[in-house]
Structure 1
Amino acid sequence: FEIKQAKAFNLEAYKEQLAEMRVMFSSMLEQLPKKSEVPDLLVDITRTGLINGLEFELFKPEGEKPVDFYAELPIQMTVTGNYHQFGEFVSGVAALPRIVTLHDISMGPMNAATGNMTMNLTAKTYRYFDDEK
């Protein structure tokens, strides 16, 4: 009886918490690209690199990889530039309105003649399966 009474006592708080979680979930889903927005997001990532002075040696979107209720969309990249340009690129990607995460980042040695380095990385964005638009 005491357990049921405690649950009943907290019911309104639970309902409020559930409503808040639904709003947060909806807000997070808005940050995921819809299927039709993925090409524009790829352009945004490329543009962010070019604006920051990076040269793309490889930009290879891979196929969707299903994970539970969402799909990962990995993009293999190799870019050339200086350390400051890499930092600006990473910051710019983080500021994009859609969720993009960077993984497996490795940087090669600096070219003494140009002052440039090479960075290999995988960018990932995610798409909720409920959205088939």
Structure 2
Amino acid sequence: MLRQLPNKTEVADLLVDVSQTGLASGLEFELFNPESEVPREFYAELPIKIRVVGDYHEFGDFVSGVATLPRIVTLHNVNIKRRGSKEGGGLVMNLTAKTYRYLEDSERSGGSSKKKKGKKGKKGKKSGGKA
């Protein structure tokens, strides 16, 4: 599974893959905004705000295409609405796509040492309270 997490140099290619999947599905992008990384224990989440215009079947093709990408991409907060008040005006889909990047050892060591210190401090307080 770790092979499905890109490293820093592969993230740009993955963003292109997500964008091309949407275009190949016939969608028109109104927004494609990669946001700041959210670091986790051994990986970082890379959220991307997306707004596309198309029809229901094009949305389905896009979601299916994203699912077949070689890297892990999850879709969150999916919202589909009619575009405008006229019938036949198409649909707008807003969502947050999240991809994940493997953190290098140097990136993890800083975060994990802070967590360890915090846990040790709590244990020390508990044992001190028992004495």
Which is worse superposed, 111-120 or 85-94?
Answer: 111-120
SS at 1:97's partner residue? Answer: coil
Distance 2:36 2:92 in 1: 24
Aligned positions of 1:23-102 closer than 5 A:
28-102=1-75
Aligned AA for 2:35?
E
Identity of aligned residues (%): 63
Q: Per-residue deviation at 1:116?
A: 1.0
SS at 2:82's partner residue? Answer: coil
Distance 2:61 2:32 in 1: 18
| Gap regions ≥5 residues in structure 1 | 1-27
Q: Per-residue deviation at 1:53?
A: 0.5
Residue 119, structure 1, aligned to residue 87, structure 2? no
Distance 1:113 1:131 in 2: 53
Aligned AA for 2:34?
P
Query: What's the TM-score, normalizing by structure 1?
Result: 0.74
Give me the CA root mean square deviation: 1.5
| Gap regions ≥5 residues in structure 2 | 107-131
**1:44-65 CA distances to partner (integer Å, 9 max, x unpaired)?**
0010000110000000001111
Residue 105, structure 1, aligned to residue 105, structure 2? no
| Count of matched residue positions in the alignment of Structure 1 and Structure 2 | 105
Residue 130, structure 1, aligned to residue 108, structure 2? no
SS at 1:30's partner residue? Answer: helix
Distance 2:59 2:53 in 1: 8
Q: Per-residue deviation at 1:130?
A: 2.6
SS at 1:57's partner residue? Answer: strand
Q: Per-residue deviation at 1:113?
A: 5.0
Distance 1:88 1:29 in 2: 26
Q: Per-residue deviation at 1:114?
A: 3.6
* 8 Å Cα contact 2:43-2:102 kept in structure 1: yes
**1:6-62 CA distances to partner (integer Å, 9 max, x unpaired)?**
xxxxxxxxxxxxxxxxxxxxxx01111111011111110010000110000000001
Q: Per-residue deviation at 1:110?
A: 4.9
SS at 1:56's partner residue? Answer: strand
Extract structure 1 runs of 4+ deviating beyond 2 A: 110-115
